[in-house]
Amino acid sequence: MSTPAADVWLTGGTVFDATGREPFRADLRVSAGRVAEVVALDPTARPADRRGPGVVVEDVTGTTVLPGLVDAHAHVGILRLHGQAALPAPVQAAMVFAVLADSLAQGFTTLRDLGGVDGGLVEAVRRGLVPGPRLLPSGQILSQTGGHGDFRGPTPGGADPCQNPSTGADGFTLPMLLVDGPDAATRAARAQFHRGATQIKVFATGGLLSHGDPIEAPQLSEAELRAVVEVAADRGSYVTAHAHSPRGLQRAVRAGARCIEHATLVDEETVELMAAHDVAAVGTLTVSEVLRVDPASLGAGPVDAGDSARLRESAARAIDALERAGVRLGCGSDLIGERQHRRGWEVALHARLSGASVALQRATRVNAEICGIADEVGTLEVGKVADVAVFDGDLLAHPDLLMTTRPRLVLAGGAVVSRTPRDHRDHRDTEEAS
Ligand SMILES: [Zn+2]
């Protein structure tokens, strides 16, 4: 992303800086891609005139000014769970580029991608060839044979028995890799870092959208998990594990995983173990809500309705238990599909359980901490990278606005990367009509 020449003043908005401070009216100056000043406004004084040579003034009175949102669980390269490989690679690429641009327009300036794309897509964005958020890719998710990442039929065919033949485009987006045995796990983890992964994702239990692997079943042996953790630690990185149920989750924690995705069916013992090991959790509420209201949009095929309802109910209890135990808790949409336009839902759904301020901090500062980039982004403090999302209205009072509106203005690295006209900010109608 290029550094803008002019300083930008965002004037008159209510700043939610995500440090835990109450929102306050302030003028915010961006210079050389960073937050340069945050000047709290005295309600009795006349507003300062910020105009001047080389200065752009954006009057954002009546808005909430947030740090750019971070989705800690994205899959920009998973467009369909079945049959994606039937799409020509350029078509898949065009769809992924559209998802990236649309993520910016939703106010998301960072995506931790947990399976699919690799460093090649990061390079395309970094060079400015396509607009997109900061991307932290995982490459392929490591799964055991017969695990949550094994989308082959019961009688597998295809040239490479370790690839899922119907998903992705080689060299661009491949979601899963099947590994069995510690040596294979070591090799697979090294291969992901070689292609630009910033962290490794593993499947440590069964899940919802795969078949033949129960949610209760632990996946990957402790030796396999330890092998992956060792490779990540050698790279100064970490492993995050998809885990719904206690046995596999506890095994991943004992093996050294630093983060758990979903953590939906946790019991007291599991939550205490996570807290004792300072392991973070990323709650994912959006997908089960989308499965309830619009399952076709995920392209997921038939889903066990009982499993889906059970996970939705237990996720709310899990978030409560994780919060009470003091586990660092972030949030991620886990959206897949060609249109990933509901990233904001995750924040709104967390707000219903934990309040708007906590939810917005999860989606900014805490997610940045989990991603290991909190020195640079996640709060609106002087010196931080100027990733900013400006939403009409009071998001703290009305967090459901994140389900229905787009930000009027989004800055990434101090540059305006998205500006949505007033008529297009409410996206309820287009969404329901599609
Ligand atoms: Zn996922």
Q: Is 50 exceeded by the pLDDT of residue 324?
A: yes
**Cα 123 to averaged position of ligand 1 atoms, centre (Å):** 22
| Average pLDDT rounded to a whole number, residues 121-133 | 97
141 CA to centre of ligand 1 in angstroms:
9
For residue 51, give both structure tokens.
């105009």
Share of the chain above pLDDT 70, in %: 91
Which is more confident, 114 or 80?
114
In the reported structure, the alpha carbon of residue 338 is separated from the centroid of ligand 1 by a whole-number distance in angstroms of 15
Cα–ligand 1 centroid distance for 393 (angstroms)? 31
Adjacent-strand bridge partners of 34: 31, 385
97 C-alpha to ligand 1 centroid (Å): 19
The sheet carrying 108-113 orders its strands as 69-74, 108-113, 134-136
pLDDT of amino acid 171: 86
Would you say residue 300 has pLDDT above 70?
A: no
**Residue 374 Cα to ligand 1 middle (Å):** 22
Does the pLDDT at position 430 exceed 60?
no
Instruction: Count CB-CB contacts under 10 A for residue 316.
Output: 15
pLDDT of residue 431: 47
Predicted confidence (pLDDT) at residue 275 exceeds the cutoff of 60: yes
More reliable by pLDDT, 28 or 155: 28
* Contact status, residue 330 vs residue 289, Cβ threshold 8 Å: no
Q: In which band, very low, low, confident or very high, does the pLDDT at 310 lie, cut at 50, 70 and 90? A: confident
CA 311 to ligand 1 centroid distance, Å: 14
Query: Residue 189: pLDDT above 90?
Result: yes
Helical segments of 61-127, H only: 89-105, 119-126
- Per-residue pLDDT band at 311 (split at 50, 70, 90): confident
Smallest Cα–Cα separation from 274: which of 306, 202, 322, 333?
Answer: 322
HSE-up of 134 (CA within 13 Å, CB side)?
23
* CATH, domain range 69-371: 3.20.20.140
Dist. CA 207 → ligand 1 center (Å): 10
Class of domain 7-67+378-433: mainly beta
Strands 55-59 and 7-15: parallel
Tokens 């995705």 locate to 261
Taking the C-alpha atoms of residue 228 and residue 424, their distance in angstroms, rounded to an integer, is 45
Residue 334 Cα to ligand 1 midpoint, Å, equals 5
The CB density around residue 35, as the number of other CB atoms within 10 Å, is 23
Query: pLDDT value at position 291?
Result: 82
Average pLDDT, the chain: 92
Q: Ligand 1 centroid vs 161 CA: distance in angstroms?
A: 23
Mean pLDDT of 55-59: 96
Tell me the CA–centroid distance for residue 9 and ligand 1, in Å. Answer: 37
Domain boundaries, given as residue ranges, for the chain: 7-67+378-433, 69-371
Q: Note the pLDDT of residue 166.
A: 66
Q: Which pLDDT band, with edges at 50, 70 and 90, does 45 fall under?
A: confident
Q: Tell me: pLDDT of 187 over 50.
A: yes
Per-residue pLDDT tens for 86-124?
Answer: 999 999 999 999 999 999 999 999 999 999 999 999 999
In this predicted structure, what is the pLDDT of residue 207?
Answer: 86
- Å from CA of 241 to ligand 1 middle: 10
Spacing, Cα 333 to ligand 1 middle (Å)? 8
Give the separation between CA 384 and CA 376, rounded to whole angstroms: 5
Q: Is the pLDDT of residue 232 over 90?
A: yes
Q: Report pLDDT for 410.
A: 98
pLDDT, mean of residues 126-135? 97
Is pLDDT of 46 > 70? yes
Lowest-confidence range among 89-103, 148-162, 272-286, 338-352? 148-162
| Ligand 1 geometric centre to CA of 283 (Å) | 11
**What is the whole-number distance in angstroms between the Cα of residue 72 and the centre of ligand 1?**
10
Tell me the pLDDT tens digit for each residue of 380-389. Answer: 999 999 999 9
Ranges 95-109, 149-163, 179-193, 357-371: which has the least confidence = 149-163
- How many other C-beta atoms are found inside a 10 Å radius of the C-beta of residue 404? 16
Amino acid present at 151: F
